[in-house]
Amino acid sequence: MKQAIRILIIDDEQTIIEALTELLELEDFQVDTFLDAQQALDSLNKNSPVVALCDVKMPKMDGMSVLAKLQTLDPELPILLMSGHGDIPMAIEAMKEGAYDFLEKPLQPAKLISQLERAIEKRRLILENRSLKQNLANQTGLENFIIGESAAIKGIRQHVTALAQANVDTIIYGDTGCGKDVVARALHQFSRRHESRFIAINCGGISESLIESELFGHEAGSFTGANKRHIGKIEAANGGTLFLDEIETMPLPVQIKLLRVLQDRTIERVGSTQPIPVELTVIAASKDDLAQLGEEGKFRKDLFYRLNVASLTIPPLKDRPEDVLPLFHYYARKAAEQFDRPLPELTPEYLAFLLEHEWPGNVRELKNAVDRFVLGITETSLATLKRDEDTNGSYEERMEQFERSILEQGLRASGGQLNEAAELLDLSRKTLYRKMKKHQLDKQVFKAT
């Protein structure tokens, strides 16, 4: 479950706070508001999962003072300043002092939302990297990073140890949810680049029209909507590691540009002819055989050969049952800490289910099951899973039944309160609404029960 990054709104005008809160909550942001800047500062610590949106003109403490105090607390905490009296010198000064952005009132909703999303992603990456480094300080080795006792996982740990020291480009193969991102992070954290950034991008999660800009960056004015220079993921990963998940979905024209980066170790931003040198390790992940895709003309062979300095394959969880319980206990401890709940007793019936279930969703499915176990909503899901496993329906039908069951459990556990149900199920409110409509679930039914 991704850590939720909240928007901290600081403004001395109640009407502005109410308008911003309504706008942002409709876009599924989580919001905290403060009329008093000092109270907002008192609520924070160095690792607070927040992005600040602060007015400049305030009576007791202005936005520039808030910026200075936040820079002292945590220079990597993004703060966006907004002002109805803003001018170019003030904006320049704010950016020099470390502001993430400067927005002029009246705010443009599309720009505000876009910049907040980028700031949230930046904050999430910063906190994830800090957490990983802290965890490493408390760990005795790779065994506590890549969890499992199967021969396959032991072999992967050996390969990671060797490859991390070599800093070579690597391809990680494995089904969806099997932990390719964990192995990628291990390759980074145990390498000589671990002090630098680990930048991850899901190639399948970005539209074809945007992926080139996201990877390589762009100059201001290079295309419609490019109002200012944007640093791409490759340039941001300079000195560290770039993780390209679902690389098999990368458009062929972008593959050509990526090949040039791997060959020359330079990039050119969109709209520029100026080469920028980069030094980084590239880790790609795919659920499909890239060599086979190359033979079919769906992936460039030359890019495959360039990336395939080394490769690792993570077997599905059903092929390594020895890893189920170590993973379960690892995630159970983390979930108990995250939800501030005591660890429930592991019953023989549930233990049998863990060992007998085939885990088609791999480690991701197991982790979700652990979260439900710690939250105390496993009883009906266990019965439903067993009932579904005894049916002769297709895989798709059984997964539909399972999804409906999980939605019902979350709604029942929250008494039909959609915000709480969405949080329990790790879904946005919009996604929960859509899935409830799909399965024809009425929140009133669960309120009544």
Residue 224 pLDDT: 73
Residue 396 pLDDT: 67
Residue 345 pLDDT: 79
116 and 165 together in one domain: no
- Torsion angle of the four alpha carbons 248, 284, 289, 251, in this order, in degrees rounded to the nearest 10: 20
Tell me whether residue 94 is in a domain. yes
82 and 16 together in one domain: yes
161 and 297 together in one domain: yes
203/200 Cα distance (integer angstroms):
9
105 and 237 together in one domain: no
Residue 291, domain CATH:
3.40.50.300
279 and 328 together in one domain: no
**Total domain count, the chain:** 3
Residue 125 pLDDT: 78
295 and 146 together in one domain: yes
Dmax over CA atoms of the chain, in Å, equals 69
* Domain boundary pick from 82, 97, 125: 125
What single string gives the DSSP state of each residue in 125-180?
A: HHHHHHHHHHHHHH--SGGGTS---SHHHHHHHHHHHHHHHHT--EEEEE-TTSSH
Tell me whether residue 1 is in a domain. no
Tell me whether residue 422 is in a domain. yes
Tell me whether residue 130 is in a domain. no
What single string gives the DSSP state of each residue in 338-389?
A: HHT-PPPP--HHHHHHHHH---TTHHHHHHHHHHHHHHT--HHHHHHHHHHH
249 and 202 together in one domain: yes
Residue 186 pLDDT: 94
Residue 106 pLDDT: 85
The identity of residue 363, as a single letter, is V
419/399 Cα distance (integer angstroms):
24
Tell me whether residue 246 is in a domain. yes
Tell me whether residue 134 is in a domain. no
197 and 301 together in one domain: yes
Question: Could you tell me the residue range of the domain that residue 393 belongs to?
Answer: 318-448
Question: Which among 266, 264, 263, 305 is positioned nearest to 284, based on CA atoms?
Answer: 305
Cα-based angle 303, 298, 254 (whole degrees, multiple of 5): 50
* Domain boundary pick from 315, 347, 364: 315
Q: What is the pTM of this model?
A: 0.55
Tell me whether residue 259 is in a domain. yes
Residues 6+ away with beta carbon under 8 Å from 30: 4, 5, 6, 7
The identity of residue 339, as a single letter, is F
306 and 392 together in one domain: no
191 and 298 together in one domain: yes
Tell me whether residue 230 is in a domain. yes
158 and 272 together in one domain: yes
Residues 6+ away with beta carbon under 8 Å from 160: 142, 146, 183, 186, 187, 190, 312
3-class SS letters over 242-306: EEEECHHHCCHHHHHHHHHHHHHCEECCECCCCCEECCCEEEEEECCCHHHHHHCCCCCHHHHHH
* Domain boundary pick from 280, 315, 350: 315
147 and 177 together in one domain: yes
The answer to whether 189 and 241 have CB atoms below 8 angstroms apart is no
Structure tokens at 105: 């009132």
Which DSSP helix (H) or strand (E) runs through 101? strand 101-104
Instruction: For residue 332, give the 3-state DSSP assignment.
Output: helix
Residue 38, domain CATH:
3.40.50.2300
Per-residue model confidence as pLDDT tens for the chain (449 residues): 356 899 999 999 999 999 999 999 988 899 999 999 999 999 999 999 999 999 988 888 888 999 999 999 998 899 999 887 656 677 788 888 888 988 888 888 999 999 999 999 888 878 876 775 565 444 447 888 899 889 999 999 999 988 988 889 999 999 999 999 999 999 999 998 999 999 999 998 888 778 888 999 888 877 777 778 888 999 999 999 999 999 999 999 999 999 999 999 999 988 888 899 999 999 999 999 999 999 999 999 999 999 999 999 999 999 999 899 889 988 988 899 888 888 887 776 787 788 888 899 999 999 999 988 888 876 444 554 454 444 445 556 767 777 888 888 888 888 888 888 888 887 888 788 888 888 888 887 777 44
Query: How are the residues of the chain apportioned to helix, strand and coil, as percentages rounded to the nearest 5?
Result: 55, 15, 35
